[in-house]
A = this chain, B = another copy of it.
Amino acid sequence: MSTLNNSTNIFWQECPVGKVERQKLLNQKGCVVWITGLSGSGKSTLACSLSRELHSKGKLSYILDGDNLRHGLNKDLGFKAEDRAENIRRVGEVAKLFSDAGLICIASLISPYRKDRDACRAMLPDASFIEVFMNMPLELCESRDAKGLYKLARAGKIKGFTGIDDPYERPLNCEIEIEQKDGVCPKPAALAGQVVSYLEEKGFLQVE
Residues of A with Cβ closer than 8 Å to B?
1-7, 9-13, 15-17, 21-22, 25-26, 39, 44, 47-48, 51-52, 55, 58, 60-65, 67-68, 70-73, 75-79, 86, 90, 93-94, 96-98, 100-103, 108, 123, 147, 149, 152, 158-162
Contact = CB atoms under 8 A, between A and B. Distances in A.
Contact of A161 (B1, B15, B90): B1
Nearest to A9: B149
B103 A158 contact: no
Contacts of A149: 1, 9
B67 A7 contact: no
Contacts of A22: 55, 60, 62
- Count of identical protomers in the assembly: 2
Contacts of A102: 60
B160 A15 contact: no
Contacts of A100: 62
Given A3-B160, A48-B16, A52-B17, A93 B67 contact: no
A149 B4 CA distance: 13
A1 B47 contact: no
Question: What are the 3 A-B residue pairs with the smallest beta carbon separation, nearest first?
Answer: A73-B93, A62-B101, A15-B48
Nearest to A21: B55
Given A60-B22, A60-B26, A68 B12 contact: yes
Given A6-B77, A17-B48, A72-B123, 8 more contacts: A2-B79, A21-B55, A62-B97, A72-B96, A73-B93, A73-B94, A94-B94, A97-B98
